[in-house]
Amino acid sequence: MKDNILKGSIVLLILLLFLISVTAVSSEDNNSNSNKDLNIMSLSKGGITIQYPSDWGNSKATSNYSIMAISKLDSIDAFGIGQVNINVEKKPIEGDFNTFVNDTYKSMQKDSSFQLVSSGAVSIGGQDAYEYVYTSTQGTGEKEHKAVWFEKGGQAYVIMYSAPISEFEDNLYVFDFVLSGIQIT
């Protein structure tokens, strides 16, 4: 009887190991197939060049200061505006850059639909910059935003990533990718 139990256990163990290996190989094939279809795209406007994955594309921006906007393709609505997007803006600076950026967020904090999460100094493309993370409640629901500000030629630039809170972390890697390869001329 012990031999039958031992043989049955060995067969069951071998079957279990086989199923695990088949599942792992299948999962790797699915992941590599989905990444094979992605290409790296490039967009240049207003002295900024960015690269982004091909499952993102041009979209309309809601800001008058926008020089370019890209969005996750499956998040773009009928009006051409992406719910998961990266927007690059350029604004003229009045006075000191640090004061300009800080005043922007001080005025936003007066609005109850705005909640500052964090802020601090960072570097982008070898330049000193400021990073702000905040949430806001808009007509489309609650969103999370990550904005990186820097100064160039008397202009304030901001690269801002926005997404519904439920999608923010899942797509943050694209914003990090865009920032890691940004070219500022």
**For the chain, domain boundaries:** 1-37, 39-184
Q: Determine whether domain 39-184 maps to CATH 3.20.20.10.
A: no
* Cα 178 → chain centroid: 8
Each residue's pLDDT, cut to its tens digit, for the chain (185 residues) gives 555 555 555 554 454 444 454 444 444 444 444 455 789 999 999 889 999 999 999 999 888 999 999 999 999 999 999 999 999 999 999 889 999 998 888 888 888 889 999 999 998 878 899 999 999 997 768 999 999 999 988 899 999 999 999 999 999 999 999 999 998 88
Measured over the CA atoms of residue 158, residue 53, residue 42 and residue 83, the dihedral's sign is: negative
| φ, ψ (nearest 5 deg) of residue 171 | -115, 0
Contact (CB, 8 A) for 129 and 122: yes
Q: Two tokens at 116? A: 């500052």
CA atoms within 13 A on the CB side of 140: 14
Q: Is 46 helix (H, G, I), strand (E, B) or coil?
A: coil
